[in-house]
Amino acid sequence: MAARIRRNVWKLDRSDETLAWYGKAVAALIRRPIEDPSSWRYLAAVHGTPQGMATPASARGYWDQCQHQSWFFLPWHRGYLASFEATIAKTVKDLGGPADWALPFWDYSESLSTERNARLLPSAFVERTLGDGSPNPLWSRRARAPGGNFELDDTAVSTGALRFTNFTNSRPGVPSGFGGPETGFNPGGGDNGGIESVPHNRIHVKIGGDSGFMSDPSTAALDPIFWLHHANIDRLWEVWRNQGPQFQDPSDERWLTSVVFQMHDGDGRPITFRCADMLDTTKVLHGYTYEAVPVAQEAELESVEMAMAGGARPEFGGESEGPVVLTGPTTKADVVLVPPSGLEAATAEPRHVYLNLENITGAGIPGDYLVYIDVPDDDQPTASFIGVMTTFGLERASDKSLSHGGSGLSQVFEITELASQLKLSEANVSRLKVTFVREGVAKADADAPAELADYAAVQRKPANVTVGKISLFYD
C-alpha cells in the first residue's frame, strides 16, 4: 500500500468521511478494556497516567513514557502518532471503512486570510451529540468555547520556532533550539524546545482550560483532538527540515540510536523504535506523508543566527534576589545586573543576550504567563513583550518522586535586540524589571464522555507557580 496522506482537517470536502470514521473508531476503542493495547484508555496512558492510577503488569514499560523538554520530543511523538494511526486505521477497516484512512492534522497556524476558520476547533469535535442524538465520540472535556472558538491569538499559534537553525543545544543558559535540549530518557522537566513551547504547549492549555483533559500530560491523549494537534506538530517538523540544508536533525548517535522506545502496532503487537527510525515518514510503520508541506521563504529566515551547540555557559549578567512567587494577575521582579566584561569598547554590545527563567515549579493548571521587560527610568512608555512562559506539564516537572527530582521547568528568551534598546550592558543600568502577566485559563466543562468520567473526577491541586530564579546571560 502506498504511504497514507495526512490532510488538513479544514481542507476536507464536505462529503469527506475521514472524521466520521474517526468517530466510529474512537467509539469502538473506548469500549475495549483498558488492558487491551488497542483500547482508547491504554493508548492514552502511553502518554501519561493520572496520579494514583495503577499500571497493569502487562503495561509496564509502555505507559507513562511521553518525552517532553527533550530532544526526543519530536521523534517519540512521531512513533506514538504512527502507532495510534495504525490502530485507528485497522479499526476503521474492520468497521467497513476505507483501507487507507489517515489521521488529519489541524493547522491552527494557517493564515486567516487563506482559511478564516483555521483557529476554530473543527466542527465535528464541537457538539456533544450527533445528528441522531447519540453521543459524539469526538467531543471531550475541554475549556468552554462556544462554536469551537478557544480564542487562539497570535501568541498561541506562532510558528516562530521555525526560525531556529539548530535542532538542539547543550549550552546552559541559551535556547534549546527547535527540537529541545540534549537529555536522556525524559518524561518531563527542564527547558522546552522552540516548537514544544509554542505552539505545542500553548494549544494544550488553551484547549484544556482549567481542568480539561488537554491541559495535563497525564490525561491529554484522552481527547480526540490531541492527535490532530500532534499531527500538526509532527508536520511542522517536516516543514522545518524542508527549509534548507542548514536545518538538520542531530547526527549524534546518542540521539539516533542510544534510546529505544516501546509501543504497539495496529495489531497490538509490541514494537520498538529509535529516533533513526523516525526520519523518513514514508517508512514509519505503514508510512505517511503530509499534503502541501510549505517551504519558508528566505526573507523570513534572515535573522535566525543562534548560539552553536556545545561549549561553556555564556557570561553571567545578573539574577533575581531570590525565588519569585507569581501571585495575582501581575507579578513584578527585579534582576540585579552585572555589566558584561570583555567588551573591547564602551560602545560594543554582546552578540546575544538571554533571559533565563529557571526552576519553575508549582501545582495545578495555572495557565500561561506573558513576560515583559523594562528598566527603571528609561524613555520607553511601556514594558516590552518578550514571549510567553508556558506551564504545560508544570506539576509533573515539579514532582520530586520522579527521575528529574522535581527541578521543574525552565524557559529561555533571547532578548538581544531589546537589551540593546534598553542599554542593559551599560554600567549605569543596574536593574532589569521583569513583569509576569497571568493569562489564566478558561473554565472547562464539568462533564466528560461517560466512559471517561473517572478521569474527570480527579481533584486538581490549587494552582501556584514559583520561578526559582531569573537570570541574565551575555554571549
Are 268 and 379 contained in the same domain? Answer: no
Question: Domain for residue 59, yes or no?
Answer: no
φ, ψ dihedrals at 141, nearest 5°: -75, 110
Are 233 and 295 contained in the same domain? Answer: yes
Question: Domain for residue 43, yes or no?
Answer: yes
- Give the CA diameter of the chain: 75
Question: Domain for residue 117, yes or no?
Answer: no
Question: Domain for residue 354, yes or no?
Answer: yes
The CATH number of residue 347's host domain is: 2.60.120
Total Cβ atoms within 10 A of residue 410: 24
Are 180 and 263 contained in the same domain? Answer: yes
Extended strands (E) in 288-419: 288-290, 315-320, 324-326, 330-337, 353-363, 368-374, 384-389, 409-414
Which class for 465: exposed (0-12), middle (13-18), buried (19 or more C-beta within 10 A)? buried
Helix locations, 194-322, DSSP H: 194-195, 202-208, 225-241, 253-256
Please state, in angstroms and rounded to a whole number, the distance separating the CA atoms of residues 116 and 104: 18
Are 278 and 328 contained in the same domain? Answer: no
Out of 260, 277, 301, a domain closes at 301
How do 409-414 and 190-191 pair as beta strands? parallel
Are 272 and 333 contained in the same domain? Answer: no
Q: How many separate domains does the chain show?
A: 2
Are 274 and 145 contained in the same domain? Answer: yes
Render pLDDT for 360-407 as a digit per residue (tens, 0 to 9): 999 999 999 999 999 987 666 789 999 999 999 999 999 988 766 689
Are 155 and 286 contained in the same domain? Answer: yes
Please state, in angstroms and rounded to a whole number, the distance separating the CA atoms of residues 421 and 32: 59
Cell representation of residue 456 = 474527570
Q: DSSP for 17-86?
A: -HHHHHHHHHHHHHTS-TTSTTSHHHHHHHH---TTPPPPGGGTTTSS----SSTTHHHHHHHHHHHHHH
Are 267 and 374 contained in the same domain? Answer: no
Q: Is the pTM of this model over 0.75?
A: yes
Distances (CA, A) of 445 to 105, 131, 140, 211, 412: 24, 21, 9, 8, 33
Out of 301, 323, 355, a domain closes at 301
Range of the domain at 426: 315-474
Nearest residue to 152 via CA among 198, 114, 218: 198
Are 263 and 383 contained in the same domain? Answer: no
Out of 279, 301, 323, a domain closes at 301
Beta bridge partners of 120: 149
Question: Domain for residue 331, yes or no?
Answer: yes
Question: Domain for residue 357, yes or no?
Answer: yes
Are 152 and 261 contained in the same domain? Answer: yes
Question: Domain for residue 310, yes or no?
Answer: no
Fill in the amino acid letter for 451: E
Please state, in angstroms and rounded to a whole number, the distance separating the CA atoms of residues 410 and 357: 5
Are 271 and 340 contained in the same domain? Answer: no
Question: Domain for residue 195, yes or no?
Answer: yes
Nearest residue to 111 via CA among 149, 151, 154: 154
Are 283 and 409 contained in the same domain? Answer: no
The CATH number of residue 25's host domain is: 1.10.1280.10
Q: DSSP for 70-89?
A: STTHHHHHHHHHHHHHHHHH
Please state, in angstroms and rounded to a whole number, the distance separating the CA atoms of residues 92 and 156: 33
- Per-residue pLDDT 10s for the chain (475 aa) are 689 999 999 999 999 999 999 999 999 999 999 999 999 999 999 999 988 889 999 999 999 999 999 999 999 999 999 999 999 999 999 999 999 999 999 999 999 999 999 999 999 999 999 999 999 999 999 999 999 999 999 999 999 999 999 999 989 899 999 999 999 999 889 999 999 999 999 999 999 999 999 999 999 999 999 999 999 999 999 999 999 999 999 999 999 999 999 999 999 999 999 999 999 999 999 999 999 886 644 434 443 444 444 567 789 999 999 999 999 999 999 999 997 775 443 445 668 999 999 999 999 999 999 999 999 876 667 899 999 999 999 999 999 887 666 899 999 999 999 999 998 878 789 999 999 999 989 999 999 999 999 999 888 899 999 999 999 999 8
